[in-house]
Structure 1
Amino acid sequence: MSERKSPWVIDTRDLGRRPGLSRQVHREAPTSAALGVEGVIAVPKGAEVELDVLLESVVEGVLVSGTAVAPVAGECSRCLDPIADEEIEVEFTELFAYPDSATDQTTDSDEIARLVDDLVDLEPVVRDAAVLALPSVPLCTPDCAGLCPECGVKWADAGPDHRHESIDPRWAALTERFSTDRDE
């Protein structure tokens, strides 16, 4: 569990252990590491993540549900232009089990999150949701045409008449023959 002063950690003692009690939490928290693959697409390290969370006391623990909004940075996988001024919004729901609850006793330690000293750490939950929501092939625009494979210029900048004459090597001798005949 992260240290208590972390903005990712929320104290749930005011909920008590009576099912049916709930509390809204809204805060911003900086990421301690990049979420995703840096250079491709990620929430940068130190980026402020806006959290809007509902904590609900249930029989087995505290049910945490909400949304997280964070900026993303990376580059287009087709044209390599930077992707900036984009945001990702993810929804998450996680049960944090009370110590010695039936859920705590019947699940493995890595299957479910647990309350430690009545604290919930949201950073791993948001990290997992954000990484899964990031595109595996990020694009600057949905219709990005990419780069010309011959010269590397962006198709968007090249214009409709951009082309490279390539002659099949099997026909190259004929091309030379006919261009010589025309010259005479």
Structure 2
Amino acid sequence: MRTLELEVPAPADLAIEVIGVPEGAPVELDLRLESVLEGVLVTASAHAPLVGECVRCLGEVTDTVDVSFSELYAYPGAIEKHPDDEEAEFIAEMTGDAVDLEQSLRDAVVLALPFQPYCRPDCAGLCAQCGKNLNEDPHDHDLIDIRWASLKESLEAGDDDGDEAPASPPA
């Protein structure tokens, strides 16, 4: 058994549409390598920074991701692959004395990413009428339902004539 602590640059496309690990960002890996009959069992944990976009207000989101994964890297020819075996294509093999952790790391990190990241849990988002960020400028628009617009106009016209109008339109 052997343990290693490494810091490697993040590969490209370690992300989903709205959040991910920036390419080249430092990814901290704690590895445990164990020799087994078929090959090398790698048990790892990874820590990496995240940068993305809030799905409510489109502001920047920064966070970190911590994942763990385990993968068997078989010695070449140690595991017999049958053509009918659908899982055979997913068996990772060693290349000489090396193992390629990129795909295992990618699978673990991408599955751990939040599908809808928020800049903060109570993010108010963007105003549907004007597009302003409601976190910075909470406001309301005085919108009149088009079905009541004529009534409002007639009530306002009645105020100009000196007529007394009801306090609010009927519901």
TM-score range normalised by the length of the shorter chain: 0.7 to 0.9
2:13 paired residue number: 34
Unaligned runs of 5+ residues in structure 2 are: 162-171
1:140 paired residue number: 119
Contact 2:29 2:47 in 1 (8 A): yes
Contact 2:81 2:88 in 1 (8 A): no
3-state secondary structure, aligned to 2:90: coil
Q: Give the whole-Å Cα distance in 1 for the aligned partners of 2:80 and 2:10.
A: 28
Distance verdict in 2 for CA 1:28–1:104, change over 3 Å: farther
Which structure has the larger Rg? 2
Q: Give the whole-Å Cα distance in 2 for the aligned partners of 1:32 and 1:132.
A: 16
User: Normalising by structure 1, what TM-score?
Assistant: 0.79
3-state secondary structure, aligned to 1:124: helix
Pick the aligned partner of 1:67 from 45, 64, 67: 45
Percent same amino acid among aligned pairs?
A: 49
Contact 1:64 1:95 in 2 (8 A): yes
Q: Give the whole-Å Cα distance in 2 for the aligned partners of 1:110 and 1:36.
A: 24
Are 1:178 and 2:150 counterparts?
A: no
Pick the aligned partner of 1:89 from 66, 91, 100: 66
2:164 paired residue number: none
Paired amino acid for 1:53: L
Q: Give the whole-Å Cα distance in 1 for the aligned partners of 2:144 and 2:35.
A: 72
Q: Give the whole-Å Cα distance in 2 for the aligned partners of 1:104 and 1:119.
A: 20
2:142 paired residue number: 165
3-state secondary structure, aligned to 2:135: helix
Q: Give the whole-Å Cα distance in 1 for the aligned partners of 2:34 and 2:80.
A: 17
Paired amino acid for 1:65: T
1:150 paired residue number: 129
Q: Give the whole-Å Cα distance in 2 for the aligned partners of 1:164 and 1:31.
A: 45
How many Å apart are 1:36 and its aligned residue?
Answer: 0.8
Contact 1:104 1:114 in 2 (8 A): no
Distance verdict in 2 for CA 1:104–1:91, change over 3 Å: farther
Pick the aligned partner of 2:57 from 79, 88, 91: 79
Q: Give the whole-Å Cα distance in 2 for the aligned partners of 1:53 and 1:90.
A: 12
Q: Give the whole-Å Cα distance in 1 for the aligned partners of 2:88 and 2:150.
A: 72
Q: How many residues align?
A: 158
1:44 paired residue number: 22
Q: Give the whole-Å Cα distance in 1 for the aligned partners of 2:24 and 2:96.
A: 27
Paired amino acid for 1:130: V
Paired amino acid for 2:140: R
